[in-house]
A and B are shown apart, each in its own frame.
Chain A
Amino acid sequence: MRFTVTQADLMEALGRVSPAVPTKSTLPILSNVLLQLEENRLKMVATDLEVSVVTEVDVQGEVSGSVSVPAKKIGDIVRELDGLTLTINVDESHHLLIDAGEGEYQVPGIAAQEYPSLPEIDSAATLRFTAEDLNSMIARTSFAVSRDELRPALTGVFFQIRPTEVRSVATDGHRLVRIIDQKFRAEGESRELILPVKALDMIRRNLPEKGDVELVVGGNQIMVRLEHATLYSRLIEGRYPHYESVIPQENHNKMIVNVATLIRAVKRAQIFANPINRQIVFHLSQEKVEISAEDVELGGKGREAVDAIYEGEAQTIGYNATYVLDLLKQVPTEDVQFDLGGSTQAGIVRPTQQKEGEDFLMLVMPVRLS
């Protein structure tokens, strides 16, 4: 294999695939990227066996061939060769040699045949999103997924595809996000899929600014063709919990407050929250709304009144400050509405005004104040 490429082109391509390279891996070859040259097209592949990314770059090819090389090593050296044109040669013992004019660098590789092959998708259905909608859906859901590998279903975002709407849902049991997009249209039957958060992050990185994006679903795999890359991902198997049943129907205590004001108050209060459970307390009454926190171990406490409208029973509710802040950051309107039940029930958090054709709702579970 032999070709010539500019450092900028090669670096860009490496940058697109390298996020798929696992940081810790049981199979050493997964730390490599696969390079395949066919005439003037260099194809690059990285995978962690769950998510795979393929990209292509134009080069001046001389001898076609393939090899796999450590992603970090080649990324590190190519990054430092900026502005140069590189001639790359792979010998029979799979050493990749970079000739950068003044310097010569040799990266040890492994035969391409050892590299895992890409999943094959037997195309069953195609889902079409606008890049903008998909971007905003991923941005607002992926933060809420669980990291708990004991419950794999919760580690992804759940998509419910219906002919005239799509619902995306994420939860870790402590907070939940549900977005219903009623502008969405799908052909064919309804379906449900759970996408790993890593795949969603990679899709989002590579989304075009405008236009449509197609998700091809087949078996337990999904394929997404993006502007400069194609992404494959395994779908998470398992049943997603029946989330609709935990959305409270009768939360009669309503609070409306300016988002920026509340974020500032919560940020100040959490400085005094216990570092382990980050507990802050909302003191709610028709007369005033206050937020407080106290660290009994290290000492220090804070309490402040928040300019808010509250209609409901006087009560105190504890929350994890991190969860509250995470949710508030997603609210696009100036004000946010809380529909609250009692101090042990899920609270609904939503924008005071929904976008057209959308229903955006979040839940946060309180902390038990015994």
Chain B
Amino acid sequence: MMRAEVRDRIRKGVEDDSPRRPRTLSKSNPALVLHVDMDAFFAAIEERDNPSLKGKPVVVGGPKGSRGVVTTANYVAREYGVHAGMSIAEVERRCPDAIHVSTKGGKYSWVSVQLMAILRRYSPVVEPYSIDEAFLDATGCSHLFGGPEAYANQIKQAIHSELNLTASVGIGPSRIVAKMASGLEKPDGLTYVKPEDVGRIFGPMTVRTIPGVGPSTEISLNKLNIYTIDDLAQAPMSMLQKFMGKHGRDLAETIKGKSGAEIIAMEERAEDKSMGHEHTFHVDVTDLDMLLSRLLYLSEKATRRMRKAGYVGRVVTLKLRTHDFRTYDHQRKLDEWTDDPLKVYELAHELLNDLWRPGDKPIRLIGVSVSGLVRPDEHHGVQHNLFTAATHERRTRLLHAVDQMKDQYGEKVLGMAASLESLRKGW
């Protein structure tokens, strides 16, 4: 699972159960966001647990000789140009002495749980952003610890003394600024970017360095003659609104750190647009049953996350990548909102039939996501169905029981039998 592309790993698979609270911001209480980012997380854990690795290039990812990719490289390996997402074959060329360690998801997850527990002692609002990063809302609480930098230092020390790992912390007026700041002085860094310093520090960087700005947003910005963060900060809002809509305007406001609260709202929307999972097979797959089994597993995972966050969704998107790295996606609307894995799977199966038949190109990656998400409440009721109303109650109770088991004993404690096939070793 850890082999999926790095960006997607950051974007997806994010377990988020911390509450976001509305805040009142004022001049005397400006927004303050901390971004805590562990340094070479997986590699650092491996080094910590096996001191003989210290000082050597360590690469965590697919096993040596495999088709896998690097999940994390330690700083020694990075000196050879090795970075996350690089193929193992490329690593062997660049750094033949690298020590390859295969990913141990369970171990890292456990350290992640310990990390988040530490962070929650320091702020009531902690948002895990990926397995090794989190945002903390420090608005109004950093002064309790002697100011933003002292506050961040205490967090770093706690992580170091309790986990024997290092983290880099960025502090800023918005989430994006904090995230960019944490990357400035890695490893073991601490960077505080005040609103008035944003332009000086980040101004000359390209817009692509802003987290969340991908190739297509970069192209749109470049068309408006916006290349650097400075250009973006100085661009007239009306132009951004006209040519890029709300997205462009939000981006500029974010980078100026204009309002922390707004930024959180924007992030929330971005995150809540869809929930999904994807999987890169170790071996390209030509067998329909294997694809379907994996699709069921992914549908279970995606809807599990939706139920955890209280969402129901309506649009199912299937993503396929063939062995020649062509990526296809296809989506269709369900006629009702749902958080039921079988409903999502049923439609994803139809979509797969539309896109791919046995005998077509081998499949490298398959993914499913659900969008059109709403949180049902008294204002967003969910339409009942005449023919399934009777079974719906039973299904809901069953899924609820499954969720409770998973909450208590872990995600792997139970699943649908048909999805087991895809979890066989070697796929």
Q: Which residues in A have some Cβ–Cβ distance to B below 8 Å? A: 146-148, 150, 171-174, 176, 241, 243, 246, 274, 276-277, 279, 294-296, 318, 320, 344-346, 363, 365-370
Q: Report whether A174 and B379 are in contact in the complex, using a CB–CB cutoff of 8 Å.
A: no
Considering only residues 341-375 of chain B, those with a C-beta below 8 Å from chain A are 346-347, 350, 374
If over half of B's interface residues share one DSSP class (helix, strand or loop), that class is named, otherwise mixed; here it is loop
B392 nearest CB across to chain A (Å): 9
Q: Report whether B381 and A346 are in contact in the complex, using a CB–CB cutoff of 8 Å.
A: no
Q: Which B-chain residue is minimally distant from A295 (CB atoms)?
A: B379
A1 nearest CB across to chain B (Å): 41
Q: Which B-chain residue is minimally distant from A279 (CB atoms)?
A: B381
Q: Report whether B387 and A318 are in contact in the complex, using a CB–CB cutoff of 8 Å.
A: no
| Contact A318/B385 with A150-B347, A173-B335, A368-B376 known, Cβ cut-off 8 Å | no
Q: Report whether B385 and A146 are in contact in the complex, using a CB–CB cutoff of 8 Å.
A: no
Contact sample, A vs B, 20 pairs, CB 8 Å cutoff: A150-B350, A173-B385, A173-B388, A174-B385, A241-B387, A246-B386, A246-B389, A274-B379, A276-B374, A277-B381, A346-B386, A363-B386, A365-B386, A366-B384, A367-B383, A367-B384, A368-B376, A368-B381, A370-B377, A370-B381
With the chains together, A295 CA to B383 CA distance in Å? 17
With the chains together, A172 CA to B383 CA distance in Å? 12
Q: Note all chain B residues with C-beta closer than 8 A to A148.
A: 335
Q: Note all chain A residues with C-beta closer than 8 A to B376.
A: 368, 370
With an 8 A cutoff between CB atoms, is B196 at the interface?
A: no
Q: Which residues in B have some Cβ–Cβ distance to A below 8 Å? A: 335-336, 346-347, 350, 374, 376-389
Q: Note all chain B residues with C-beta closer than 8 A to A363.
A: 386
Q: Which B-chain residue is minimally distant from A323 (CB atoms)?
A: B383
B42 nearest CB across to chain A (Å): 40
A95 nearest CB across to chain B (Å): 38
Q: Which A-chain residue is minimally distant from B375 (CB atoms)?
A: A370
Q: Note all chain A residues with C-beta closer than 8 A to B384.
A: 174, 344, 346, 365-368
Q: Note all chain B residues with C-beta closer than 8 A to A246.
A: 386-387, 389
Q: Which B-chain residue is minimally distant from A296 (CB atoms)?
A: B379
Q: Note all chain A residues with C-beta closer than 8 A to B385.
A: 173-174, 365
Q: In the complex, which of the residues B350, B383, B389 contacts A320, with contact meaning CB atoms closer than 8 Å?
A: B383
Q: Report whether B381 and A174 are in contact in the complex, using a CB–CB cutoff of 8 Å.
A: no
Q: Report whether B335 and A147 are in contact in the complex, using a CB–CB cutoff of 8 Å.
A: yes
A156 nearest CB across to chain B (Å): 16
Q: Note all chain A residues with C-beta closer than 8 A to B381.
A: 277, 279, 318, 366-370
Q: Report whether A279 and B380 are in contact in the complex, using a CB–CB cutoff of 8 Å.
A: yes
Q: Report whether B383 and A174 are in contact in the complex, using a CB–CB cutoff of 8 Å.
A: yes
Q: Note all chain A residues with C-beta closer than 8 A to B383.
A: 174, 277, 320, 365, 367-368
Q: Note all chain A residues with C-beta closer than 8 A to B380.
A: 274, 276-277, 279
Q: Which A-chain residue is minimally distant from B314 (CB atoms)?
A: A276
Q: Note all chain B residues with C-beta closer than 8 A to A367.
A: 381-384
Q: Note all chain B residues with C-beta closer than 8 A to A294.
A: 379
Q: Report whether B382 and A172 are in contact in the complex, using a CB–CB cutoff of 8 Å.
A: no
With the chains together, A276 CA to B373 CA distance in Å? 11
A203 nearest CB across to chain B (Å): 26
With the chains together, A294 CA to B378 CA distance in Å? 10
Give the 10 A-B residue pairs with the shortest CB-CB distance, closest first.
A367-B381, A365-B384, A173-B385, A148-B335, A246-B386, A318-B381, A296-B379, A368-B382, A368-B381, A369-B381
Q: Which A-chain residue is minimally distant from B378 (CB atoms)?
A: A369
With the chains together, A366 CA to B386 CA distance in Å? 9
Q: Which A-chain residue is minimally distant from B377 (CB atoms)?
A: A370
A244 nearest CB across to chain B (Å): 11
Q: What 12 additional pairs, Cβ within 8 angstroms, besides A173-B335, A174-B383?
A: A150-B347, A174-B386, A246-B389, A277-B381, A277-B382, A279-B381, A346-B384, A363-B386, A365-B389, A369-B378, A369-B381, A370-B376
Q: Which B-chain residue is minimally distant from A273 (CB atoms)?
A: B379
Q: Note all chain A residues with C-beta closer than 8 A to B374.
A: 276-277
Q: Which A-chain residue is minimally distant from B385 (CB atoms)?
A: A173
Q: Note all chain B residues with C-beta closer than 8 A to A147.
A: 335
Q: Which B-chain residue is minimally distant from A294 (CB atoms)?
A: B379
**Interface-central residue, A172, A366, A367, A370, by most chain B CB under 10 Å:** A370
Q: Note all chain B residues with C-beta closer than 8 A to A146.
A: 335
Q: Note all chain B residues with C-beta closer than 8 A to A276.
A: 374, 380
With the chains together, A370 CA to B396 CA distance in Å? 13
Q: Report whether A344 and B389 are in contact in the complex, using a CB–CB cutoff of 8 Å.
A: yes
B340 nearest CB across to chain A (Å): 14
